Amino acid sequence: MPLTEKIKKDVASLREQINYHNIQYYTFDNPEIPDGEYDKLLRELQKYEAEYPELISLDSPTQRVGAEPLKAFGEITHAIPMLSLGNAMNEEELHDFDRKIKKLIDEDEIEYAAEPKLDGLAISVRYENGILVTAATRGDGKVGENITQNARTINTIPLKLIGKNFPAVLEVRGEVFMPLSGFHKLNEDVLKNGGKAFANPRNAAAGSLRQLDSRITSSRPLEMICYGVGVIEGATLPDTYSEMIDWLQSFGLKGSPERAVLKGSEACVDYYNKIAKKREQLPYEIDGIVYKVNRFAQQKELGFISRAPRWAIAHKFPAQEVMTTLHAVEFQVGRTGAITPVARLEPVEVGGVIVSNATLHNMDEIQRLGVREGDTVIIRRAGDVIPQVVSVVENLRPEDSKKILMPDHCPVCQSDLIKPEGQTVVRCSGGLYCEAQRKEAIKHFASRKAMNIDGLGDKLVDQLVDENLINNPSDLYKLGVDELSNLERMGSKSANSQ
Residues of the shown chain interacting with ligand IVH in the complex, contacts defined by CB under 6 A? 83-85, 115, 117-118, 122, 138, 175, 227-228, 290, 309, 312, 314
Give the residue nearest to ligand IVH (CB). Answer: 122
SS3 354: strand
Q: How many residues does the chain have?
A: 498
Backbone phi, psi, residue 167, to 5°? -65, 160
Print the SS3 string covering 198-243.
Answer: CCCHHHHHHHHHCCCCHHHHHCCCCEEEEEEEEEEECCCCCCEHHH
At closest approach, how far in Å is the CB of 286 from ligand IVH? 8
Spatial separation of the C-alpha atoms in residues 113 and 374, rounded to whole Å: 46
Indicate the burial class of 223 (C-beta count within 10 angstroms; 0-12, 13-18, 19 or more): buried
For residues 19 and 137, which CB has a smaller minimum distance to ligand IVH in the complex? Answer: 137
Spatial separation of the C-alpha atoms in residues 337 and 30, rounded to whole Å: 49
At closest approach, how far in Å is the CB of 132 from ligand IVH? 20
For residues 198 and 227, which CB has a smaller minimum distance to ligand IVH in the complex? Answer: 227
For residues 77 and 424, which CB has a smaller minimum distance to ligand IVH in the complex? Answer: 77
At closest approach, how far in Å is the CB of 314 from ligand IVH? 5
Q: Distance of alpha carbon 2 from its chain centroid, rounded?
A: 51
Spatial CA neighbour of 83 closest among 173, 208, 204: 173
Q: What residues are annotated to the active site?
A: 117
Spatial CA neighbour of 68 closest among 216, 208, 190: 216
Instruction: Locate all alpha helices (DSSP H) within 350-434, ordered by sequence.
Output: 363-369
For residues 122 and 204, which CB has a smaller minimum distance to ligand IVH in the complex? Answer: 122
At closest approach, how far in Å is the CB of 310 from ligand IVH? 10
For residues 86 and 334, which CB has a smaller minimum distance to ligand IVH in the complex? Answer: 86
Please state whether beta strands 312-316 and 86-88 pair in parallel, antiparallel, or not at all (unpaired).
parallel
For residues 167 and 228, which CB has a smaller minimum distance to ligand IVH in the complex? Answer: 228
At closest approach, how far in Å is the CB of 122 from ligand IVH? 3
Longest CA–CA span in the chain (Å) reads: 101
At closest approach, how far in Å is the CB of 117 from ligand IVH? 4
Report the first-to-last Cα separation within the chain, whole angstroms: 91
Spatial separation of the C-alpha atoms in residues 134 and 63, rounded to whole Å: 15
